Amino acid sequence: MAPTKRRNPSKGRRLPISCPPGLELRTLPGKGRGVFATRRFRRGALVERSPVIVLPEEEWRRLAKTRLDHYVYEWAGDGGCSMVLGLGSLYNHSYEPSVENFVDRRNLAMEWVALRDIAPGEEITVNYNDADDPLAELWFEAR
């Protein structure tokens, strides 16, 4: 396998990554990467549809011992999980999120829908917790 070629990292706030229309990826001091709106999204609007890779329960148990466990979602009732691709795995947490996610089993996708109007320049956030306990403590200190 050939070594990965390196380029100089982006010196600006915006990261040069292909993003769905209306979204961009930025770096945030002390927080890492975040996804931001470049246009207005009305409440109920589809913000993104992310493809997923579905993993069975036994693979999820092995994955739970790695950092990748922080990037998966329970896959609606079958005991497995989904690895979210696209920007969906990069949305930061908020206890007052701007989007919520819905499983699209038929298309093996996760849909991200605006919970309220989202202004241009606003970070797209999701609550990492289950709906049953949305205020539960996380594995990191939420800001």
Calculate what percentage of the chain has a pLDDT beyond 90: 35
pTM more than 0.85 = no
d(CA 51, CA 66): 21
Q: What is the pLDDT, as a whole number, of residue 29?
A: 83
Highest mean pLDDT among 4-13, 41-50, 66-75, 82-91: 41-50
C-beta of residue 102 within 8 angstroms of C-beta of residue 110: yes
- pLDDT surpasses 70 at 139: no
pLDDT tens digits along 116-135: 999 999 999 998 655 554 44
Which pLDDT belongs to residue 4?
Answer: 61
Distances (CA, A) of 138 to 45, 134, 142: 28, 10, 7
How much is the pLDDT for 89? 86
* Nearest-angstrom CA–CA distance, 120 and 117: 10
Higher pLDDT, 8 or 81: 81
In the prediction, which pLDDT does 99 show?
Answer: 95
pLDDT confidence of 56, banded at 50, 70, 90? confident
- Structural domains in the chain? 23-126 (2.170.270.10)
